[in-house]
Structure 1
Amino acid sequence: MKKIEDYKKSALFFEGCISFITEVSPDTDYYHHCYKLVINLGQSFGCLIDGQTLDGLQGLIINQATPHTLFSPNAKLLVSYIEIDSFRGWQLRGLLNGQAFVNMNCLLSPIQLEHAIPSNYNELPDGILGGFVKVLMESVFIMPPPDSFIVNQSVQLALQFIESNLDNSLEAEDIACAINMSSEHFRYLFVQQMSIPFAHYVKWKRIRKSIAEALSNDNTQVLSYSDFILNHLDSDRVFKKVFGMSRSALLRKSRLLI
C-alpha cells in the first residue's frame, strides 16, 4: 500500500460516470452515492419523487439522497450515474443547489431531448452510442462548477489515496491519522466537502471498479467475478440499493456504457 504522503497536493478528479440502457425498475431507489440522470428512449416515463407524482417525463436529474420510484411499463431509459467527485458532479451540485430534482425540460427543449439519442441506438456500437451520451451531457453541463470545487487539501489527499487503494483495507481512522486529523473531524470534513459519508464513498468506488473490471472479462466470468469481489459488500443488497436492480440484471440484462 502506498503511503498517503506519496501523493502530490493537487486535486485529482475523474470524469466519473456509469451509463446504461435498461427498462424502468418498479423499485424505490435511494441513492447516497451519485447524482442520477434519466433520459427516455422513445417513450415518456413517470416518477414518484419528493412527494410528487410526475408524468410525461422526457428527462430528469435526481439528487443523490432523494428517494424516488420510476414507472412506465416497458419504457427504455438511458440512466447515468455521475460521481460526486467528478467535474460534472460538482457542476450538478451547483445546478441542483439543494433541490431534490431538476426536470430536464427546464434545461433543454423537447426536440433536443427527443433527438439526444438516435432512435436506432440498438444498432450502434458502444463507442458511437457513448459519443452521443457525451454530447448530451455537454449540452446539459454547460455551467461552471461552484467555487466550492476547490476541495480542502486534506480531503484531496484522502480521495487520491482511496482511489489507489480500493483493493486494500480502508478505514477512516487510518487515513485521518496519516493526515494528522482526528477521525471525528475527518469524517465531518469529508461529508461537508463531498456530501457523502466516507464509508458510502468507498463502497461506491469499489462497486464501480468491480463493474468496470468484470466487463473487461468475457461473459462467462462476469457473474463469478462480481460474486467474488462484492461478497464483502453484501453485493445483491448493495447493488439493488444503488442501481435499483440486482447484479445479474445490471451486468447481463442492461447495456452498460462506462
Structure 2
Amino acid sequence: MNKEIFIDIETILSKEQLNKLKLDFSKPDLTTADIKNLSDNLLYDIFNLSIKPLTKENTDDRIIKAKEFINQNLSESLTLEKVANHIHLSQERTRHLFLEQVELPFSQYVLWKRIKAVLTSVIQGKQTFFDASLQYGFTDQSHFNRFFKRMFGISATVILKNSRFVQFIYPEL
C-alpha cells in the first residue's frame, strides 16, 4: 500500500486563520516583502514555532547585527562568544538580549537557521542533502536528519518527496 505522508493545513490552522490567510494572500498590491512575511508567519503557525520575524522597528540594532552575522557565517563554527564579540557585548548580555528579542535561545536559533539553509539549498537544487548538511555545520546527513526529525516530528526526506505541498521556503528568518 502506497500511502503519501503530508501535512494537512486544515488540521493545523483554524477556519478563521485559513480565511485570514486567503484574504491576506489575495490582496492585489502585495509586494515580494509582504509575501515573504506572510509566508514566514504561515510557517511559524504550521510548525507552532515560538519565534516570529523581527522587524527593524521592534528589534535592538545589536540583535539585527548579530542575526546578519549568523546568516553570513552559517557554514562556519558559530559560538555565542564569536557573536558577542562581533556586536561588542558580553556573552551573558548577548544571551539575555537574544532570548528577549528573538524569543529563542541562541543555539536553537542557529540550529533552526542551519536546518532552513540545508532545506533551501536542497529544494533549490544547489546541493545534495549530504553536501548541504556538511556545508551548514552538521557532521553528516544522518546528523541533520536526527535534528530535523526531533524538531518537526517528520523526516526531511518525507517533506521533500511531497515538496509540491511546500510552496515557499526562505533562508531569512
For Structure 1 versus Structure 2, the TM-score category normalised by the shorter chain is 0.5 to 0.7
Q: Is the 8 A contact 2:145 2:155 kept in 1?
A: yes
TM-score between both structures, scaled by the size of structure 2: 0.62
State the Cα distance separating 1:179 from its structure 2 match: 2.2
For 1:90-239, list aligned pairs within 5 A.
103-105=14-16, 108=19, 134=35, 137=38, 149-217=57-125, 222-226=128-132, 228-229=134-135, 231-232=138-139, 234-239=143-148
Deviations 1:18-38, CA, capped at 9 Å, x for gaps: xxx9524xxxxxxxxxxxxx7
Q: Is the 8 A contact 2:56 2:64 kept in 1?
A: no
Q: Does 1:23 align with 2:6?
A: yes
TM-score between both structures, scaled by the size of structure 1: 0.44
Q: Is the 8 A contact 2:121 2:132 kept in 1?
A: no
Q: Does 1:257 align with 2:167?
A: yes
| 107 and 157 in structure 1: CA distance in 2 versus 1, 3 angstrom threshold | same
| 226 and 174 in structure 1: CA distance in 2 versus 1, 3 angstrom threshold | closer
Letter in 1 for 2:63: V
Q: Is the 8 A contact 1:222 1:251 kept in 2?
A: no
What SS does the aligned partner of 1:108 have?
helix
Q: Is the 8 A contact 2:5 2:158 kept in 1?
A: no
- Paired with 1:238 and 1:147, the residues of 2 have a C-alpha distance of 28
- Paired with 2:147 and 2:167, the residues of 1 have a C-alpha distance of 20
Structure ID, larger Rg:
1
Q: Which consecutive unaligned segments of at least 5 residues does structure 1 have?
A: 1-20, 25-37, 46-58, 61-102, 117-130
Letter in 2 for 1:154: R
State the Cα distance separating 1:252 from its structure 2 match: 2.3
What SS does the aligned partner of 1:151 have?
coil
State the Cα distance separating 1:236 from its structure 2 match: 1.8
Deviations 1:147-188, CA, capped at 9 Å, x for gaps: 994211111110111111111111111221232211011101
State the Cα distance separating 1:213 from its structure 2 match: 1.1
Greater fraction of residues in strand: 1
Q: Which consecutive unaligned segments of at least 5 residues does structure 2 have?
A: 26-31, 43-52, 169-173
